[in-house]
Amino acid sequence: MPELTQLVHGPQAEAKTIRIGIIICARYRDCGGGKCFRALRERQGAFSRYAAEDQLQLVGYSSCGGCPGGNVEYVPAEFLKNGADVVHLATGLVVGYPPCPYIQQFKAFIEKQFGLPVVVGTHPILRIPAKSNSIPEGSRTPFRAEAEQHFGMIPNTNRSVATVAF
């Protein structure tokens, strides 16, 4: 009956295993990877680019080593030893404050030196409208104000954690 399935659903793409290495910002080196791993499992954020039938396998997870990214010279080699097909630079490199100034250099270096494609991002970015009342005006830090002005959005901080004004 495979012929009937092809007639009804079209040609079936062959499932493949995609082995992924993730590099995070050293500022978040204590991160347990929950958002990244959840996004990988649920095919969200940058992981939505992979076909549903493909199996995604994490083969490495490391920090950049701190500015200016010393581990970026070595970590992809370890990923390759574990069969990596692609490297993801974690979302924290993009949305941290300040954003990593080395993202483009990391991407170019890894692609040239190790021949691995690099995807910038892992999990989706949760944002709420800047006009939201979830953050009291007096608790907005200068960093949040700059983010609001630049992006028109601010991170979701509507949590039961005290916010300190600077």
* 19-30 pLDDT tens trace: 999 999 999 888
What is the pLDDT averaged over residues 50-64? 94
Instruction: Kindly state whether residue 142 falls inside one of the protein's structural domains.
Output: yes
Q: How many residues does the chain have?
A: 166
Instruction: Kindly state whether residue 65 falls inside one of the protein's structural domains.
Output: yes
Task: Mark whether 77 and 156 lie in a shared domain.
Answer: no
Task: Mark whether 113 and 36 lie in a shared domain.
Answer: yes
Task: Mark whether 35 and 114 lie in a shared domain.
Answer: yes
What is the pLDDT averaged over residues 56-63? 95
Task: Mark whether 81 and 46 lie in a shared domain.
Answer: yes
Instruction: Kindly state whether residue 130 falls inside one of the protein's structural domains.
Output: yes
Place of tokens 């495979």: 2
Task: Mark whether 97 and 156 lie in a shared domain.
Answer: no
What is the pLDDT averaged over residues 110-122? 95
What is the domain extent for residue 43?
A: 17-120
Instruction: Kindly state whether residue 164 falls inside one of the protein's structural domains.
Output: yes
Instruction: Kindly state whether residue 100 falls inside one of the protein's structural domains.
Output: yes
Instruction: Kindly state whether residue 135 falls inside one of the protein's structural domains.
Output: yes
CA terminus-to-terminus distance, the chain: 67
Q: Are 126 and 134 in contact (CB under 8 A)?
A: no
pLDDT tens-digit series, residues 123-152: 988 765 555 545 555 544 454 454 444 434
| Number of independent structural domains in the chain | 2
The pTM score is 0.69
Instruction: Kindly state whether residue 12 falls inside one of the protein's structural domains.
Output: no
Query: Quick one: pLDDT band at residue 11, thresholds 50, 70, 90?
Result: low
